[in-house]
Amino acid sequence: MSIISRSRRIPLVGGLLATGAAAVLLLTTVLAVPASAHGSVVDPASRNYGCWQRWGSDFQNPNMATQDPMCWQAWQDNPNAMWNWNGLFREGVAGNHQGAIPNGQLCSGGRTENGRYRSLDTPGAWRTTNVANNFRVRFFDQASHGADYIRVYVTKQGFNALSSPLRWEDLELAGQIGNTPASQWTPTTGGVQIDIPTNAPGRTGRHIVYTIWQASHTDQSYYLCSDVNFGGSNPTTPPTTPPTTPPTTPPTTPPGGSAGCTATYRSTGQWSGGFQGEVQVTAGSTAIKGWTVTWTFPSGQQITSSWNATVTSSGSTVTARNAGYNGALAAGGTTSFGFTGSTTGTPAAPTPTCTATA
C-alpha cells in the first residue's frame, strides 16, 4: 500500500488557503511514512487504519467532523497516527502486555511513540464493521515478519464502548493462532495476510475487538483496536430460482442425536511441504457444553500448530477438543478452529466426525 500526496492547495477549516503551511504539512506526512513497513488489522479495520483508508487523500475536509467525528479528532490530534497506521507497536515487552500497558491506554499501546496514538484511546462513536458472533480477523503483514502468536480479544457483553475507556478486565479471549512463519501466510499485494477465526458468543451491539500481534523477527508487540457491531450477519444472496425438485433423501441426524454436532473441513492455504485448514463445528438441535472432533490423515500429513482448539495426534489419527471459551454452543450455533500441517505430497481433505457433550 502506498500513500499518494496530492500536489494541490489544502483548504483549512476556516476556508483560508495557507500554501506554506500546506507544503510543510505535506512534507511532514511524506516523511511520516515508515521506512520499513509493519502491519495492522485491516478487517475489521483498526481505528487508525480505517481513518487512513477513508480520509487519507482528503484529511483536511471539514465534513469529516460531522461524518466521522472520531477520525476527525484523531487527525486533529496527530496525523502521523494515521500515516503510520502500521507502526503501533512497543518493543521489549517480553509478553507482559498487561504490565506494560495501563488500563485506558490499550488502543494506543500505552501511549507508545511518545503519545502519537493517544487519540485512539478516546471513547466514542468510532465507525463499526457489522459482524456475526463467528467471524474472522484479517491481519496484514506488510514486512512479512510472521507471528510468534496473534491473540484476538472481544469486550464482554455490557461494555459501553461509547463512554468507557478500554481496560484489560473488559476483554475476553475470542481467537488466537500460535507460531506461524510468514511463509505460511497468504501472499497479497504489498505483503502477506492471515485470517484468525474468532468466536464471541452472546455479544450484541457495539464492541471493541482488541488484537495483539507478537511479531517473529524481534520482541515487537502490536496493539490494535477495531470497532464492530454484533447482530448483523453477513447476508447471502438467495437463489434467483427456487429449487423445483425436493431432496431425494431426508437430512441425516448428526451423531449423538439431538444433542450432537457436525464438523466440516475446508482448506484455507497450501504451499510446498505444508498446508492450512479450518474445521467448523455446528451444534445440533439442542445446546451442547463441549465437542470433540476426530479424523484420520493419509500417510505423510501431520499437524504442526493449531488455534481455537486443543489438537493432539496419535499416528495418523487427529483429535481436536474445544478450548475453554468455545465449547458451549447454542442449538445450531457454530464455532471453528484451525491448524497448519506438514505434508510430503498434495494434502488430502480429511473427513472429520464430531461428538458432543450435552
User: What is the grid cell recorded at 52?
Assistant: 487512513
Confidence band of 24 (pLDDT split at 50, 70, 90): very low
Angle at the Cα of 152 from the Cα atoms of 113 and 88, rounded to 5 degrees: 15
Check residue 331 and give its pLDDT: 84
Nearest by Cα to 48 from 16, 84, 76, 23: 84
Q: Tell me: the pLDDT tens digits for 139-180?
A: 999 888 899 999 999 999 999 999 999 999 999 999 999 999
Q: Is the pLDDT of residue 242 over 50?
A: no
Residue 8 has pLDDT above 50, yes or no: no
> Domains in the chain, ordered, with CATH?
37-230 (2.70.50.50), 257-357 (2.60.40.290)
SS3 for 312?
Answer: strand
Look up the pTM and report it: 0.58
| Max intra-chain CA distance, the chain | 75
Q: Mean pLDDT, the chain, as a whole number?
A: 81
Higher pLDDT, 276 or 19: 276
Task: Quickly state the pLDDT bin for 239 (edges 50, 70, 90).
Answer: very low
Predicted confidence (pLDDT) per residue in 297-350, tens digit: 877 888 888 877 888 888 888 999 998 767 888 888 888 888 888 888 888 888
Tell which residue, 344, 346, 341, 345, has the closest CA to residue 184.
341
DSSP character string of 245-268: S--SSPPPPPTTGGG-EEEEEEEE
Q: What residues pair up with 131 in beta bridges, in sequence order?
A: 230
Q: What is the mean pLDDT of residues 14-18?
A: 34
Q: What is the 3-state secondary structure (H, E, C) of 100-158?
A: HCCCCCCCCCCCHHHHCCHHHHCCCCCCCEEECCEEEEEEEECCCCCEEEEEEEEECCC
Does the pLDDT at position 94 exceed 80? yes
Tell me the C-alpha distance between 316 and 331, whole Å: 31
Q: Is 175 exposed, middle or buried (0-12, 13-18, 19+ CB in 10 A)?
A: buried
pLDDT tens, 35-68? 344 899 999 999 999 999 999 989 989 999 999 9
- The Cα 272–Cα 162 span in angstroms is 47
Predicted pLDDT of residue 234: 38
Q: What pLDDT is recorded for position 19?
A: 35
Evaluate if residue 229 carries a pLDDT over 50.
yes
Question: pLDDT tens, 101-133?
Answer: 999 999 999 999 999 999 999 999 999 999 999
Burial class (CB in 10 A: 0-12, 13-18, 19+), 26: middle
Q: Is 168 left (phi over 0), alpha (psi -120 to 50) or beta?
A: alpha
Cβ–Cβ under 8 Å, residues 283 and 340: no
pLDDT digits (tens, 9 = 90+) for 174-226: 999 999 999 999 998 889 999 999 999 999 999 999 999 999 888 899 999 99
**Cell numbers 450477519 label which residue?**
233
pLDDT, position 64? 93
- Look at the block and give the residue holding cell 482448539: 309
Q: Is 288 within 8 Å of 281 (Cβ atoms)?
A: no
Q: Which three cell numbers stand for residue 95?
A: 509478553
All residues at 6 or more sequence positions from 307 whose CB lies less than 8 Å from its CB, including other chains:
175, 176, 177, 178, 196, 197, 337, 338, 339
Q: Residue 29: pLDDT above 60?
A: no
